[in-house]
Chains A and B, each alone.
Chain A
Amino acid sequence: MTQRRVISVIVLNEHGVLTRITGLFAARGYNIETLTVAPIPKSKYSRLTIVTKGSPRVIEQIIKQLHKIIPVYKVIEHSELVEKEMVMAKIPLEERLADVEALCRAYNGNIVNIGKDSAIIMAADEPQRIGNFIEALRRFNPKEIVRSGVVAIER
């Protein structure tokens, strides 16, 4: 019965607003898989994208409870949406960078920086594909992997 859901929340950009959202999830035992936040350009609002899991009733409650938070302007429960996630990783320079680069390309990425002993790579793709990408990356012995969490936009 539990389903994955992507919810966007448009909130007033004000003191403590993020705590109101995360506090709600914590207090009511709702699950947050990923959470991204950034201001919406040229407005007083920010957009949060939350990936959560729950039964239909729980999802319904999450949405209603989010609506109740005073600085929440809008809650968008996505059905038709495009999702993207970004990942960055550090790969030791000893690895075969040409192969790494080819892999990155397949996932809308590339090598973005080469340092003293490692290269930093990035990719941006659907969350599921980012998972695959990380799997494939394992054979190049990544030293560190950082995922951004999901952003989504309605079709």
Chain B
Amino acid sequence: MADMSGAQMVVEAMRREGVEVVFGYPGGAIMNVYDEIYKHRYFQHILTRHEQAAVHAADGYARATGKVGVAFVTSGPGFTNAVTGLATAYMDSIPLVVISGQVPLSMIGTDAFQEIDAVGISRPCTKHNYLVQSVEELPRILAEAFYIARSGRPGPVHIDIPKDVTAQVGPFNYPEEVRLETYRPTIRGNMRQIKKAVEAIREAKQPLFYLGGGIIHSGSADLVRKLVDATQIPAVETLMARGTLPYDHPQLLGMVGMHGSYAANMAMSEADLLIALGPRFDDRVTGKLSEFARYAKIIHVDIDPSSIGKLVHVHYPIVGDLKAVLEEMVPLVEERIDPGRYQQWRQTLNHYNELHPITFEDSDEVLKPQWVIRRIGERLKGRARIATDVGQHQMWTAQFYPFTRPREFITSGGLGTMGFGFPAALGAKRAVGDGEVVVNISGDGSILMNIQELITAVQYRLPVINVILNNNYLGMVRQWQTFFYDKRYSETDLSIQPDFVKVAEAFGGVGYRVSTKEEFDQALDDALNRGVVALIDVVVDRHENVLPMVPAGGSLYNMLLEYKD
């Protein structure tokens, strides 16, 4: 292949990798690349209005599809704006390639205009990063970045390219296949360990599936469903695993953890065997570690050996790609396990569920946020992607939305990034096209953290429906202040608000303000018909709390089931 400039190489690499859309924002150090984008339209470029939103949009695209999301930003402030996006993707193991411009090689280290040590900043929040030193190594680095991002435990990869490197010309030797001597993720699980694990399941009396985000990343929800159906062993899902089992699956006890269901948390506490498939034992799930799953032996399948045994002792560690491991495990389980064995255990747990189901008290006077979410579910179940921001609305969505499949729920779990929802929803909408609705369920705090993206939605015709559960509070923080700080509402009152209807209209979208069920139904219908970006500002009960709740650091079996004023 003929020689080409570094900028051409970047664009050509996108073509080779089958990238159909890049989210980004130009600036001095990356202008050579943008000039190439102008000349070749191999992929669509979506100009977000903030670099953070570009990375979140690439992330939302990746979460919706499983493909690598791509974002371009310039040096200095362009890059630093992108950092929250990288960190968000890193914590949730989302495959991204983020390319930033850098000042020319000769100026690095001189505190040049818009120079910042980008690889120094991104190192702890990426799976890997590169500062490109010459145009000769650029093709290899581009290919490696995509490979590293999507293989093994996925994650974001950052490439920092000095401006002169994008101008220099060199040979484009793009590797057909990437092989790295120093990076070889374990794919196949150890067969002996798998057999031992199956024996442990056979011997257990009260086993429990603890389903984690790794299931979504590895595309093994179908296998998990087979496994659960074959064994009829009860299951709990983490926030990141929502949709692995359909919401009405008979073995599903709901979400586990701080705002998990009573039955799910009690199941964790009383199980004698946890079959952990791709979770990472996050503190929001385990609660107090010394009390976590205190009667259980643990099987843990994960592609990342460092996840296994990091926080709790694991009796049957299995390192490998979940899909590859489950392909071995399912036939063994089907052959060896009698689902009748766990009848008693299932009854106990069903009883817990009847005792304290996930529920709320509806009202005729004021809209309850949970009602709104349930309503969205009734209307759109199975044909929408649901993004959220972070806060009470996120937890209510996780509790009340009827998830039916993987990649339906797009939420920032590990980092808990307010401002994630809307741009991620835009990325998801770009991915799914007209066939599916994308709703971002947000709060009156979070939505303002990337509200400028309304214009991106209008420009690129990405009609995301934003439902703002407006409680005039930073609700989740307010809830903690109510419970644990004697109601000292320090800086959480959001009584002063913009007129969201006007905001939406000013950007060319549609806005609604609703405070009754009828109004909400009408607004949602109208928004679905209009086909432009929408803000539905829903006035909800200010004082509603997310329950049940395991106070931070408490044990899973000590749940706050109600709050009396």
Contacts and interface: CB of A to CB of B under 8 A. Distances in A.
Interface in A64-90: 64-65, 67-68, 70-73
Given A19-B120, A20-B123, A71 B305 contact: no
A85 B128 CA distance: 33
B123 A70 contact: no
B29 to A, nearest CB: 19
Interface in A33-79: 57, 60-61, 64-65, 67-68, 70-73
Interface string B100-139: 0000000000000000000110011001100101000000
Given A16-B131, A27-B124, A73 B181 contact: yes
A15 interface: yes
Contact of B128 (A19, A27, A64, A70): A70
B309 interface: yes
Secondary structure type dominating chain A contacts: helix
Interface residues of A, number: 19
Interface string B194-214: 000000000000000000000
B181 A60 contact: no
Contacts of B119: 16
Given A19-B123, A60-B309, A61-B310, A70 B133 contact: no
B133 A15 contact: yes
A33 B310 CA distance: 23
B311 to A, nearest CB: 9
Contacts of B38: none
A68 B181 contact: no
A68 B306 contact: yes
A60 B119 CA distance: 27
A19 B117 CA distance: 13
Given A61-B306, A67-B306, A68-B304, A15 B123 contact: no
Contacts of B124: 23, 27
Contacts of B183: 70
22 contacts: A12-B182, A15-B133, A16-B119, A16-B131, A19-B120, A20-B123, A23-B123, A23-B124, A27-B124, A57-B309, A64-B305, A64-B310, A65-B306, A67-B306, A68-B306, A70-B127, A70-B128, A70-B182, A71-B182, A72-B182, A73-B181, A73-B182
Given A12-B182, A23-B124, 13 more contacts: A15-B131, A16-B131, A19-B123, A20-B123, A23-B123, A65-B306, A68-B306, A70-B128, A70-B180, A70-B182, A70-B183, A71-B182, A72-B182
